[in-house]
Amino acid sequence: MRKKILVTGGAGFLGSHLCERLLNEGNEVVCLDNYFTGQKSNVVHLLNNPYFELVRHDVTMPFYIEVDEIYNLACPASPIHYQFNPIKTVKTSVMGAINMLGLAKRIKAKILQASTSEVYGDPQIHPQTESYWGHVNPIGERACYDEGKRAAETLFVNYHKQNNVRIKIMRIFNTYGPRMHPNDGRVVSNFIVQALKGEDITLYGDGQQTRSFCYYSDLIDGMIRLMNTGDDFTGPVNVGNPNEFTIRELAEKIIQLTGSGSKIISRPLPSDDPMQRQPDITLARQKLNWEPKIQLDEGLMHTIEYFKTTVK
């Protein structure tokens, strides 16, 4: 049956892929975005689909619509963008969650929150399981994002307990792929763009900090599987690729795969930059019957091909 689905942040990197997937599966999609870090060009190819609608709107303001499901992705995700206006970032996470949960309650829609591995902060246990409460500096540079997303999880859980709203909380670990903005500022797009332009590769700190990188198609698959789980499963659930790399290894891999002559240069490590991150995906395997299929080399090759067509 055709469902009507609202995707907030739908003109962003992940949101645009989600809109496309949901349309391909025969649904009607309303994409809402204020274009802060997303862009119309990410969804322009969907505009001639009669089941697709694009709405310019800011989630900090209430929005009314009749839909069956809501995917709440609206929020800048790159540290440079979420730190640009930290107060706005908190408002987007918290007021955005309140507005979308209020809507879900009123229209009895199911709602999924795009939460993040950042709720674990600079983690002291490794790999991270959902039962870990995290290690977050509430007054640091990353707090606007981390604490905003943590408060959003609190709101989700309480709308569920108090008002029976059907919720799903997904803790997304570093995800990359085509349609990341060339100036997004996150590590994979930065390194690929620098390598393709023959510019220096900016390695923050000594590059020994780790991340585990998931390709976007795997992530979107996990997201839709989570939305389709039974109402008794709310999460939170980690979704990401557990293969862990140091940031220096990533830089070297991208230089090799692009055949670039770029050199690696050191830049200061931003404050509170997590030293290690790797998802424990046991729960996702059990509850979503999901695991990632695309490993780093293959995903990077596709992403490099994409940036070759956009970076001049």
Residues 6+ apart with CB under 8 A from 34: 56, 57, 58, 59, 74
Q: Nearest distance from residue 263's CB to ligand NAD, in Å?
A: 27
- For residues 142 and 135, the answer to whether their CB atoms sit within 8 Å is no
Residues 6+ apart with CB under 8 A from 133: none
For the CB of residue 272, give the shortest distance to ligand UDP in the complex, in Å: 9
Report the residue number, 20 or 58, with the smaller CB distance to ligand NAD.
Answer: 58
Tell me if 245 contacts ligand UDP by CB under 6 A. no
Nearest to 252 by CA among 244, 242, 263, 241: 263
**What phi and psi values does residue 82 have, to the nearest 5 degrees?**
-75, -20
Rounded distance between C-alpha atoms, residue 5 and residue 302, angstroms: 28
Looking at the Cβ atoms of 79 and 123, the one nearer to ligand UDP is 79
Number of chain residues interacting with ligand NAD (CB under 6 A): 28
Q: In 3-state terms, what secondary structure has residue 258?
A: helix
Specify the stretch interacting with ligand NAD by CB under 6 A; choose among 11-19, 260-268, 276-284, 295-303. 11-19
Site string (112-151) toward ligand NAD, x via CB under 6 A: --x-x-----------------------------------
Query: What does 12 interact with, of ligand NAD, ligand UDP, none (CB < 5 to 8 A by kind)?
Result: ligand NAD
- Only one of the segments 48-56, 89-97, 124-132, 204-212 lies at the binding site for ligand UDP (rule: CB under 6 A); that segment is 204-212
**Closer to ligand NAD by Cβ: residue 262 or 277:** 277
Burial category of 206 from C-beta neighbours within 10 Å (exposed 0-12, middle 13-18, buried 19 and up): exposed
Using the rule CB under 6 A, is 247 a contact of ligand UDP? yes
Among 112, 203, 239, 288, indicate the residue that binds ligand UDP (CB under 6 A).
Answer: 203
**Are 15 and 38 a contacting pair, CB within 8 Å?**
yes
Alpha-carbon separation of residue 128 from 3, 132, 279 (angstroms): 34, 7, 5
- Residue 187 contacts ligand UDP per CB under 6 A: yes
**Is 310 one of the binding residues for ligand UDP (CB under 6 A)?**
no
CB under 6 A: which stretch of 16-24, 186-194, 216-224, 303-311 binds ligand UDP?
186-194
Residues marked active site are found at: 145
User: What whole-number distance in Å separates Cα of residue 239 and Cα of residue 174?
Assistant: 9
Interaction pattern, residues 252-291, with ligand UDP; x per rule: CB under 6 A: ------------------x--x------------------
Q: H-helix or E-strand containing 237? A: strand 237-239
Ranges of H-type helices in the chain: 13-24, 79-82, 86-107, 143-163, 187-197, 216-227, 247-258, 282-288, 296-310
Q: Where does this chain bind ligand UDP (CB under 6 A)?
A: 78-79, 174, 186-187, 190, 202-204, 209, 211, 247, 270, 273
Q: Where does this chain bind ligand NAD (CB under 6 A)?
A: 8-9, 11-15, 33-38, 58-60, 73-77, 92, 96, 114, 116, 172, 174-175
